[in-house]
Structure 1
Amino acid sequence: MCNASNETTAKRLLEAAGEIFAEYGYRAATVRQICEKAGANVAAVNYHFGDKEGLYMAVLRFVPDAHTEKYPLHGGLNPDATAEQKLRAYVQSLLGRIFDEGRPGWHTKIIAREMNEPTRSLDTLLEEFARPLHQELASIVRDLLGSRATDEGVRLCTLSVISQCVYYHHARSVIRRLYPEQRFGPEDIARLADHIARFSLGALKEFAQQKEAAS
């Protein structure tokens, strides 16, 4: 019973902290604000997370952890899947994470705030989550570009694929105004994932052919 109560308190603190940190930022947010929102004693933060910084890091880890299992980057493919299949699965997974209707609004907001107003936690966040995400895609891109691919080419193409996915989310308020017909429901996201994958595959194949022709 005690363990269940502790887990409930920790979860309430995580949810409350996520909203407060996303709204005010790490530096301006206070432990008292968080505890009042969570209905918890101030001492509970020290008990469960050590201190304010520990709570903040737990919140940052909570966001990607909540979606990794639901949207695995390999999309449930077999290990012997083709690079083309892996790219499609990756794009579908990334868009699924970004546009997940079940995720609270503060999830995206707190990550964006951390990138714009970095704390000491950013390096940990990048190493634990962002770098593996980029490395996974870079491996797929390198396979598609072929043996003559350069590190620069792999890097630029990797960033281009990710940027396509992220832009649709970050600029969706602008996109809706410029293109009112563009929707972002589940079926729309599925079509968008297919478009980005096909568009990227076309570009990657063209780059690979150019390298072969120049050799």
Structure 2
Amino acid sequence: MTGNGREDETRMRLLDAAGEIFSSKGYQAATVREITKLAKANLAAIHYHFGSKDRLYQAVLEHAHREASRRFPPDLGLAPGADAKARLYAYVRALLLRLEDKSRHAWLSRLMAREMAEPSPNLTLVVERCLAPANVVLWGIVAELLGPDADPLAVARHSQSIVGQCRHFVLDRPVLSRLYPDCDPGQGGVDAVALHIVRFSLAALGCAGGRDYRPPNLVSGSGDAS
């Protein structure tokens, strides 16, 4: 293995280890020592590869979001020119798949939930680089569904409600399964939950036929499952 290959491997181990530690302990409580120990790297490795703990945290979030978007893109393979309803279904299903992800970056949803509850000094960067691009896509879909005279506040609230439903069904599942023991919130899998959220949202948006919406056939995601 070349020197560059070894460096790349160490960098990836640091990213994965930092993701696990940051998501379980938070930015403030996580230490460089425990991250390098989990990554099987020396203490100087973080400074060498990232410059600081702060920049490592930023790199972890950007790397995980980039991988999630590669594997589960918002359009999930929709043909160009698909209508807004189909794009909404693809967006919701992709978000659910990312939240449900059990691959090596499964800590991403935990890390983002912690960032929302305990904002680090990097929150602005997280929003700008990781969340804003996807929000632009959803905003455009909702604005199209509401029509050319849509109130920006209404677009924002509907967009927030759609994301909130996705996060609620996945992240709050341990609570939901106890509140509704005879009604598994994940029954039917991602497709069933995505269809429910989209039909509910289309009805709220005032779209004709929203309650009976039939989704397009989509790919499960792109990339490998590692």
TM over 0.5: yes
SS of 2:68 mapped into structure 1: helix
Q: For 1:81-120, what aligned pairs fall within 5 Å after superposition?
A: 81-120=82-121
Counterpart residue type for residue 124 of structure 1: L
| CA separation of 1:46 and 1:39: change in aligned 2, threshold 3 A | same
Deviations 1:146-169 (A, max 9, x none): 122111111111111111111112
Q: Distance in 2 between matches of 1:8 and 1:141?
A: 41
Q: How does 1:116-155 map onto structure 2 within 5 Å?
A: 116-155=117-156
C-alpha separation in 1, matches of 2:204 and 2:84: 14
Amino acid at match of 1:143: E
Shift of 1:179: 2.1
Match of 2:5 in 1: 4
Kindly provide the amino acid, as one letter, of the partner of residue 204 in structure 2. Answer: A
Please state how far the C-alpha of 1:73 moved relative to its aligned partner.
0.6
How far did residue 40 of structure 1 move?
Answer: 0.7
Distance 1:25 1:131 in 2: 22
Rounded to whole Å, the distance in 1 between the matches of 2:24 and 2:147 is 45
For 1:105 and 1:81, the matched residues in 2 are separated by: 30
Q: How does 1:1-215 map to 2 (within 5 A)?
A: 1-180=2-181, 181-182=183-184, 184=186, 187-205=188-206
Encode CA deviations 1:164-202: one digit per residue, 9 max, x unaligned.
1111122111111122341537x5111110111111112
Greater Rg over alpha carbons, structure: 1
| SS of aligned partner of 2:28 | helix
In the alignment, the residues of structure 1 paired with residue 6 and residue 139 of structure 2 have an alpha-carbon distance, to the nearest angstrom, of 43
Question: Could you tell me the TM-score, scaled by structure 1's length?
Answer: 0.89
Distance 1:70 1:24, change over 3 A: same
Name the amino acid aligned to 2:184: Q
2-side partners of 1:177 and 1:144: how far apart?
Answer: 35
User: For the residues of structure 1 that align with 2:178 and 2:207, how far apart are their CA atoms?
Assistant: 33
CA distance in 2, matches of 1:159, 1:60: 21
Report 1 or 2 for greater relative contact order, CA contacts < 8 Å, sequence distance ≥ 6: 2
* C-alpha deviation, 1:205, in angstroms: 2.3
- Asked if the contact 2:61–2:130 (Cα under 8 Å) also holds between the matched residues in 1, the reply is no
C-alpha distance in structure 1 between counterparts of 2:9 and 2:61, whole Å: 19
- Number of residue pairs aligned between Structure 1 and Structure 2: 206
Give the deviation of 1:137 after TM superposition: 0.8
CA RMSD, 1 decimal: 1.8
Give the alignment's TM-score, normalised by structure 2.
Answer: 0.85
User: Normalized per residue, which structure has more helix?
Assistant: 1
Distance 2:23 2:35 in 1: 12
Post-superposition shift, 1:206? 5.2
Q: Which runs of 4+ in 1 moved over 4 A?
A: none
Q: Distance in 2 between matches of 1:114 and 1:121?
A: 9
Deviates more, 1:174-183 or 1:42-51: 174-183
Structure 1 unmatched runs, 5+:
208-215
What are structure 2's unaligned runs of at least 5 residues? 209-226
